[in-house]
Structure 1
Amino acid sequence: MTPPPTAAPALPAPVAGTPGPARDPGTGRRTHPATGGALVLVGMLLVALNLRAAVTSLGALLDEVRDGLGLSGTTAGLVTTLPTIAFAGLGALTPWLVRRVAPARVLVIAMLALAAGQLLRVLTDSTWVFLLTSALALAGIAVANILLPMLVKQHFPHRTGLVTGAYTMALTAGTTVAAASAVPIAHAFGSWRAGLGIWAAMAAVAVLPWVPLALRARAAARRATTPTAAVAPPTRVRPARTRLGWAMAVYFGAQSLSGYAIMGWLAQLFRDAGFHSETAGLLLAGVTALGVPIALLMPTLAGRLATLRPLVLGLTAASALAYLGLALAPHDGALLWVTLLAIGQGAFPMILTTIGLRARTAEGTVALSAFAQSTGYVIAALGPLLVGILYEATGGWTAPVGFLLAALAVQTTAGLVIARPRYVEDE
């Protein structure tokens, strides 16, 4: 955890897990952990459960959606690329939004957009309406992606690692459940529309905790119009003008690039190695399933260490060994490579935690989160595309794995820059 804004930069960060008060949305006042703080935490976990369900459920049912809507190969490619485009473009607008609207109110709108987009896209037979409503759903996810690290910083300033671990675990669990259950749900109801549309209900549930918090924030905003409650406007933080901001963006982008490449192509690699298609799918699911406990553990470790260098190098070693194993012995060591990949993908929860650790204030956190994630997703969009091009051009996996190793080297270099304690506001 970072020290409060009045602390000197050289002071060590407090240990994650140290008890600290939650803050009421909009007022900044302390809340009892059994009331306001608990409600914020429940709200964050419900939001996190929704952050990938709309994406992974569509990926699992893409063939059925292509047949049902008559999508061309190009359009299907656009559908699979749409998440990274939305996360990059719309996520960048979030700091502008939270300077004008309380975060709780923004999350209500984001989750409503997610629920409406998921529902409307299964009610249409039009390709373009499907794309537009999918974009509406992804807009809600993009905004929530950026807000969660800021909310951890604002409401749980002395529990960054623990709370980030909890919501990252919820995110990973939601990803896994949606990917695993979308097809069975579609088969049970006899339509791909049910396999996609059911997740709109989960997004609607995620709205509920934020409604009272949004009303409370609105009341606080009205009180702030009086002279006695007036406060100075927050200082603008511009991570794009800092070395730390760019290092965070490159690390986030490089680890996301490998993550999307793995999700898109690992099953095909195992099929080419001689595994049955169902077994290949299970091996891919194993990477995500093993990531659930790692998602809980990694932020806690990151919050407790004086420097992130051991974590950065350890995650790099796990990923490098996995890539080499996939290139040299994909069949014989499959379970080991899946385990090492899951460990290496712990870079995702680590970088989410680091966003909060490298900013002193909630304003700095949301600015750093927006810049790192929006820029990072632009980089990440290249992953599945370039792996596919190399695979098609060479007919094998040596070149694609070599590309992932090169991306890992870039990720490690950026990771060593962000490893030591420093703050974006100071730069």
Structure 2
Amino acid sequence: MKTRGTLLILAFFMASLNLRPAITSIAPLLETLRDQLAMSASVASLLTSIPVFCMGIFSPMAAALGARFGIERVIGWSLALIGVGTALRYFTHSTFFLMVTAFVAGLGIASAGPLLSGFIKRYFPTRVPTMIGLFSVALTIGASLGSGLAAPFQSQTHSWQGALAVWALLAFIAVPIWWMSLRRAGGRGDGNSASAQSASLPWGQKKAWLLTLSFGFMAMMFYSITAWLPPIIEGLGYSKVYAGNVLTLFALVQVPVSLFLPALLKRYPARLPWMLLCSAFELVGLSMLYFSVAPWIAAIVIGIGAGALFPLNLLLPIDATTNGQEAASWSAMTQSAGYVIGAMGPLILGWIHDATQSFSMAVVALIALVVIMIVIQLIAVPRHEGQRERKAA
């Protein structure tokens, strides 16, 4: 049983590791891409927004495919799709083709994301906070690799195509590990009728919509920072490498947050106080950025908030459900509409920059966004959310 659990955790970690590099490797090279391909800020924003839109639009399809073919099998297919979409970037020389690669990789990310929540509920029902923490750590490491190494790779190889395509290697490594680990662990690869009955998304439930709004505003904030933090910092007079390093710092600081969060939730399981505290961190960090405090300090403060808000929002639909397929369906809904909301963030910041030729108003808009997010959290998350987990323990 211990070996089985270790194999499943390895497969889960490697799959999760692949969900961000295709997105975060764009931002450090954004100004290079705009120069080489003559893109406006609004058009360049699509390179980040397209995968996020995919995560929103195609998440419901992922839940249906998971019910039909088994969540394990669909996750394996999704990893292969991420690898293909990312590898194709090596051959791109046009804005359109680069957008196509963002769409293909986005399809894979959209399919794997919500199903991994169902995977946790199915295989680790008594260790949900711990596995969500591991999920967040893997996402953060993947995001950090993409944001931190894209600019150095481009400088060493003199090829932005290679710096964007190299992340396909992670997917091509993860695919055989996924299938081999599940085969040895006796993972299920087929859907069943009981799962199919639970596959419908809870569109008619008020609770699900509130959780979706909470997830959506969290995602809007996260992807706005992921897409535009380096250009904002470059606009303050810093180098491209420094700006990329600050984005990496923003991602890396989320690793210890994700690691410690499960232990904190075990001791203080209520979700709402943690969400409000983390939103306050984001408000403080954005204010520091607006007043030109050292970017690396602002990035750390924002990263602490973002590092906990993501796993906390992932926990909410799992808290509200009773089995793996139901958790996948609720996660698919919250991530579906939520990521569509989130994808608007980078676009809005791009439009603001094009209109004002400045990021000051964009930062003000992000501050307003976090305030709205706090109001949504107060409505969406009951004070007792998570308490039943402590009682069960």
TM over 0.5: yes
Partner of 2:112: 144
| Partners of 1:57 and 1:196 within 8 A in 2 | yes
Farther off after superposition, 375-384 or 263-272: 263-272
Q: Secondary structure at the match of 1:238?
A: coil
Partner of 1:33: 2
Q: Secondary structure at the match of 1:360?
A: coil
User: In 1, distance between residues paired with 2:232 and 2:195?
Assistant: 56
Matches within 5 A, 1:282-301: 282-301=245-264
Partner of 2:368: 406
Structure 2 length normalisation: TM-score? 0.86
Instruction: Please give the per-residue CA displacement for 1:127-150, whole angstroms capped at 9, x wherever unaligned.
Output: 544433332222111111111111
Matches within 5 A, 1:229-378: 234-273=197-236, 275=238, 278-302=241-265, 304-327=267-290, 329-331=291-293, 334-345=295-306, 346-378=308-340
Partner of 1:160: 128
| Partners of 2:64 and 2:200 within 8 A in 1 | no
**Structure 1 residues 241 and 94, CA, compared in 2 at 3 Å: closer, same or farther?**
same
| Partners of 1:102 and 1:217 within 8 A in 2 | no
User: Which consecutive unaligned segments of at least 5 residues does structure 2 have?
Assistant: 387-393
Q: Secondary structure at the match of 2:203?
A: helix
**Structure 1 residues 406 and 64, CA, compared in 2 at 3 Å: closer, same or farther?**
closer
**Structure 1 residues 296 and 360, CA, compared in 2 at 3 Å: closer, same or farther?**
same
Structure with higher Rg: it is 1
Partner of 2:166: 198
Matched, 1:187 2:155: yes
Read off the aligned partner of 2:316 and give its amino acid letter.
T
Q: Secondary structure at the match of 1:92?
A: helix
Read off the aligned partner of 2:198 and give its amino acid letter.
T
Deviation at 1:264, TM superposition (A): 2.8
Deviation at 1:257, TM superposition (A): 1.0
Partner of 1:6: none
Partner of 2:50: 82
Deviation at 1:232, TM superposition (A): 8.1
Pick the structure with more helix per residue.
2
* Number of equivalences: 383
User: In 2, distance between residues paired with 1:131 and 1:270?
Assistant: 25
Read off the aligned partner of 2:103 and give its amino acid letter.
A
| Partners of 1:91 and 1:374 within 8 A in 2 | yes
Matched, 1:58 2:26: yes
Partner of 2:389: none
User: In 2, distance between residues paired with 1:51 and 1:245?
Assistant: 24
Partner of 1:11: none
User: In 2, distance between residues paired with 1:391 and 1:128?
Assistant: 22
User: In 2, distance between residues paired with 1:206 and 1:377?
Assistant: 24
Deviation at 1:52, TM superposition (A): 0.7
User: In 2, distance between residues paired with 1:278 and 1:183?
Assistant: 6
**Structure 1 residues 121 and 401, CA, compared in 2 at 3 Å: closer, same or farther?**
closer
Read off the aligned partner of 1:160 and give its amino acid letter.
V
Deviation at 1:422, TM superposition (A): 6.1
Deviation at 1:214, TM superposition (A): 5.9
Read off the aligned partner of 2:82 and give its amino acid letter.
L
Instruction: Please give the per-residue CA displacement for 1:156-183, whole angstroms capped at 9, x wherever unaligned.
Output: 1111111111121111011111211123
Read off the aligned partner of 1:112 and give its amino acid letter.
A
User: In 2, distance between residues paired with 1:184 and 1:279?
Assistant: 11
The RMSD of aligned alpha carbons is 3.0
Q: Secondary structure at the match of 1:180?
A: helix
User: In 1, distance between residues paired with 2:347 and 2:203?
Assistant: 26
Farther off after superposition, 204-213 or 397-406: 397-406
Structure 1 length normalisation: TM-score? 0.80
**Structure 1 residues 281 and 108, CA, compared in 2 at 3 Å: closer, same or farther?**
closer
| Partners of 2:27 and 2:230 within 8 A in 1 | no
| Partners of 1:117 and 1:136 within 8 A in 2 | yes
Deviation at 1:380, TM superposition (A): 1.1
| Partners of 1:358 and 1:421 within 8 A in 2 | no
